Amino acid sequence: MTRTIAWKFFAAVMATLMIVALGAGVVTRSHVQAAGPWYIDGTNGTDNNTQGTGTGIYAFKTINYAIADVRVLAGDTVNVAAGTYIESNILVDSG
């Protein structure tokens, strides 16, 4: 009887550990609600992880930084201020 209880306890612990191990750290961007809108201003913005939430000095400075920021998610709206942006290798996946 003791062996049966120990086996059931062991099986329950192992099942729990497997569920925890498989589920740990599995959070993808698609499971997070979009947060935008975001703003880019090449003249007044600053590229750091506190920017992008407003216009002018509260905006990102570059398009590359904005689309690489982990807070900017698929489905978010990114507003780009008028101006010339000299950047390379910008890839926006629209699908």
The secondary structure of 22-33 as a DSSP string is HHTT---GGGS-
Q: How confident is the model at residue 71 (pLDDT cuts 50, 70, 90)?
A: very high
Question: What pLDDT, on the 0 to 100 scale, is given for residue 9?
Answer: 61
Beta strands in the chain (DSSP E): 38-40, 78-80
Name every residue whose Cβ is closer than 8 Å to that of residue 64 and which is 6 or more positions away in sequence.
Answer: 87, 89, 90
Q: What's the chain's Rg over C-alpha atoms?
A: 23
Q: What is the pLDDT of residue 10?
A: 59
Average pLDDT over residues 29-58: 85
- Per-residue pLDDT tens for 3-43? 666 566 656 655 555 554 444 444 444 455 557 899 999 99
